Amino acid sequence: MKTFQLDFILLLIIYYGSPQNNKIFNLSAIKIDHLLRTELLEMKVPKKTKSICPRCKKHQEFTISIYKKGKKRTLAEGQRRYLRKKRGYGSQPKEVFHKNAKVNKKTTPLLTCSVCGFKKYGRGQRIKKYEIVTK
- The answer to whether the beta carbons of residues 45 and 109 sit under 8 Å apart is yes
Residue 54, pLDDT > 90, answer yes
Residue 41, pLDDT > 80, answer no
Q: What is the pTM of this model?
A: 0.60
Integer CA distances (angstroms), 65 to 8, 25, 30, 54, 97, in order? 33, 41, 33, 19, 30
Any idea what the Cα angle at residue 4 is, between residues 106 and 15, rounded to 5°?
A: 115
Q: Considering the chain, what is the average pLDDT of its residues? A: 79
- Tens-place pLDDT, residues 78-116: 999 988 888 877 777 777 888 888 888 899 999 999 999
| Residue percentage of the chain with pLDDT more than 70 | 70
| Domains, in order of start, for the chain | 1-40 (no CATH), 43-69+102-135 (3.10.450.80)
Backbone angles phi, psi at 120, to 5 degrees: -140, 160
